Structure 1
Amino acid sequence: MLSKLIDRLPAASARKLNLLLLSRSRSEPAAPRTGHINHILPRLIPNRIGLAAGFDPSAQAPAAWQRLGFGFAELGSVTVNAKNSGKAGREWRVGERGLIHSGEFGNPGLTVFAENLKAFRDSDGGSDFCVGANILSPDGRGNEIRMLGQALVDLVDYFTVNASCPNTAMVQTALSGPIREIKALVGPAEGKPVFVKIEPTVRLDVLEAMVESFLLAGATGFVAGSSLSSHSRDLLPGITLPWPVRGGPHPVKFGAFSGPELRDINLAMVATLRRLAPDATIIASGGIYEKSDLEDYLGAGADLFQIHTALARGGREAVERLIYADGEIGTRAQLMQAAE
């Protein structure tokens, strides 16, 4: 009954209600099936299913993600100063499993984010859950990145910064921003993993340059990929999406899309990342809904998995289904052996 009500609400309202209900839930999590994993992230994790950034930008509900059964959670994005504070952002459902969001999700800034996370860490069980922070400097300032790292290093287990695939011949120039952010974060991170979240791309030649540059700058792993920005919509030829449009003399499509249509693009990215960075930790994200998605990403070279839209559209049941599926597929080596 409640799931039907949530599905009939506007997408942004449904997301807000979902977060409220989950944060207040005291039910037992889905039973972890894969056992503790201690060779991928600094903290022991019970399974490979994680929450992607964007769902909890203010670190409001890490206890809920722990109770829900997630192995880890990437909170944020968080900025030093409040950004669009109080704005929930607009969202639109696409088909049965997709989602477009406006990209305007607000966060209350570093002080509130850190206070919420510290309260969780000080709570019963708060010290056992693996948490990452997606950090963002809207103006690309290295001093903001350092400030975020210094303030959060004792509260999180890893950091994530964002990078778009440059659509330009001046690749190294275009990559200077993420490289600067990685270098600014490595010191304050004090040896904790620094992941780079890469937007979906089919430019595997550019991806090669990104991987080399980011690893040299100090990155230790990658998230492939994030949602697809409207300016990259040509990556889905033949697929018409209901992009929102800003009015004015020159209407502009905006927002970001996530859904199963991105699965093949992100699978190719994971395979390329694994080839280029055999020792890096790779977190797969994009179009993950079923056991077969986990198997395909694992076979392509992923170590861990992240979901966002599956939770937004499928709720608790989708998370539990994926946690149990994760326990059934075993390790990558076991999967490859079975395939032979």
Structure 2
Amino acid sequence: MLRRMFYQRLIRPLLFLLPAEAAHVCGALAMRLLTSLPGLAERTRRALAPSDPALVTHALGRDLPSPVGLAAGFDKDARLFDAALALGFGFVEVGTVTAVPQPGNDRPRLARLPGDRALLNRFGFNNAGAAAAGRALAARDPARGVVGANIGKSKVAPLDAAAADYRHSARAVAPHADFLVVNVSSPNTPGLRSLQDPESLRPILDAVVEAAPELPVLLKVAPDLLDGEVDALVDLALDLGLAGMIATNTTIDRGMLRDRAAADAAFEGGGISGAPLNARSLAVLRRIRARAGDRLLLVASGGIETAQDAWERVRAGATLLEVYTAFVYHGPLFAHRLGAELAALARAQGYARVQEAVGTEPVAAAR
């Protein structure tokens, strides 16, 4: 409790004096320092890495120490995953990476919306490229934890060449990743979300699966899809034998915000993450489960802040959970604390392990 108050009353106010992207850079530097000082990462890992048997989750062909993972977008270039695992995350999704290096959109491209406990970003897949991410992943110690790679379309790649672009990225990172995520749902690359149409998406997914036949491949979807569009993507994922789906990416719906003026004052466009996304992401998760049952691994992402939020996603069918914005607002101990509280909640409900509660919420028929 004292450590949480120290972050919220001292560290976070200081970081929030900086522009949002500058604060992120400072946080990233602190995480890299954690893994570069001899012994510090190991001491942190002993203190914070998941060790509660109630959190052990079998997914992606492995036993993960916790279902709580770090979502893509935080560790864009695969430099922070060791630190994130030491801080209590059960797995990390790096990226989004693209086939060619790209600077992303012009700044400002990240804004805090504290009145909504949200972030607004229009980064545009700024990253050093899939080859660089592959090299970084190749240097990791797989025994330290599960790390997947999120791949997206290069801005310079025409839409009709998207399959080849995704294939290139998949081949670069697949030999060194534990799973792959296909991102066609970011709102910050022109035309990208049009690739969520099943006819356009099928060749992309075929290309990724062909490039990484040994790895679980998951599809990350937008929260702004209509129910019928969600159903069509579920059917495609099942038809192609994908391992699972992630619900959801960021939303472009500023109507979800209580303080819309703050977003409008920041910049045009971009995607919103954090608390406002909670209800819609949960609704999409429930829709996917209603369509797929237990035939897909479901990963919940978007608006998870509390153990109760996480528990609701688990009961709705999510085996794994991903956070990002809450990590920014609640600090470096967040993953450890969320895992501990989720384990306690599971035990209070009569479960020996969190995974035993996956999908125990009655399924509503999809209409």
TM-score, with structure 2 as normaliser: 0.79
Equivalence for 2:4:
none
Any conservation in 2 of the 1:224–1:270 contact (CA below 8 Å)?
yes
| Partner secondary structure for residue 325 of structure 1 | helix
Letter in 1 for 2:274: G
Equivalence for 2:301:
285
Supply the distance in 2 between the matched residues of 1:173 and 1:7 (Cα, whole angstroms). 35
CA 269–118 in structure 1, closer or farther in 2 if over 3 Å, else same: same
Letter in 1 for 2:287: T
CA 180–244 in structure 1, closer or farther in 2 if over 3 Å, else same: farther
Q: Which has the higher helix share?
A: 2
2:307 is the counterpart of 1:298: no
CA deviation vs aligned residue, 1:203-223 (integer Å, no higher than 9, x gap): 212211121123223422010
| Partner secondary structure for residue 182 of structure 2 | strand
Equivalence for 2:181:
160
| Partner secondary structure for residue 245 of structure 2 | strand
Equivalence for 1:107:
127
CA 172–311 in structure 1, closer or farther in 2 if over 3 Å, else same: closer
Supply the distance in 1 between the matched residues of 2:86 and 2:338 (Cα, whole angstroms). 15
Moved over 6 A (4+): 85-89, 335-339
Supply the distance in 1 between the matched residues of 2:357 and 2:238 (Cα, whole angstroms). 28
RMSD, matched Cα: 2.9
1:1-340 equivalences in 2 (<5 Å): 1-25=10-34, 26=40, 27-29=43-45, 30-32=48-50, 33-34=52-53, 37=56, 39-84=58-103, 90-96=109-115, 97-121=117-141, 126-138=142-154, 139=157, 140=159, 141-164=162-185, 174-201=197-224, 203-229=226-252, 232-233=253-254, 236=256, 240=260, 242-243=262-263, 253-278=268-293, 279-328=295-344, 329=346, 330-331=353-354, 333-334=356-357
Once the 2 structures are TM-superposed, how far is the Cα of residue 312 of structure 1 from its aligned partner? Answer: 1.6
Once the 2 structures are TM-superposed, how far is the Cα of residue 115 of structure 1 from its aligned partner? Answer: 1.4
CA deviation vs aligned residue, 1:252-285 (integer Å, no higher than 9, x gap): 8211111211111111111111111122101001
Structure 1 unaligned residues grouped into runs of 5+: 247-251
Any conservation in 2 of the 1:165–1:206 contact (CA below 8 Å)?
no
Once the 2 structures are TM-superposed, how far is the Cα of residue 3 of structure 1 from its aligned partner? Answer: 3.2
Supply the distance in 1 between the matched residues of 2:103 and 2:354 (Cα, whole angstroms). 41
Letter in 1 for 2:83: A
Equivalence for 2:349:
none
Once the 2 structures are TM-superposed, how far is the Cα of residue 28 of structure 1 from its aligned partner? Answer: 1.4
Once the 2 structures are TM-superposed, how far is the Cα of residue 43 of structure 1 from its aligned partner? Answer: 3.0
Count of aligned pairs between the two proteins: 323
CA 90–160 in structure 1, closer or farther in 2 if over 3 Å, else same: same
Supply the distance in 1 between the matched residues of 2:360 and 2:288 (Cα, whole angstroms). 22
CA deviation vs aligned residue, 1:123-163 (integer Å, no higher than 9, x gap): xxx43411111111233422222222222222001100123
Supply the distance in 1 between the matched residues of 2:359 and 2:98 (Cα, whole angstroms). 41
Structure 1 stretch displaced more, 284-293 or 41-50: 41-50
CA deviation vs aligned residue, 1:279-312 (integer Å, no higher than 9, x gap): 2101001111111101111121111100010112
Equivalence for 2:350:
none
| Partner secondary structure for residue 257 of structure 1 | strand
Structure 2 unaligned residues grouped into runs of 5+: 1-9, 35-39, 188-193, 347-352, 363-367
Letter in 1 for 2:228: D
Letter in 1 for 2:70: L
CA 102–244 in structure 1, closer or farther in 2 if over 3 Å, else same: farther
TM-score, with structure 1 as normaliser: 0.85
Any conservation in 2 of the 1:53–1:74 contact (CA below 8 Å)?
yes
Supply the distance in 1 between the matched residues of 2:126 and 2:361 (Cα, whole angstroms). 45
CA 186–211 in structure 1, closer or farther in 2 if over 3 Å, else same: same
Q: Give identity over the alignment, percent.
A: 27
CA deviation vs aligned residue, 1:47-96 (integer Å, no higher than 9, x gap): 00001111111111121111111111110011111011798863111125
Letter in 2 for 1:42: G
Letter in 1 for 2:149: A
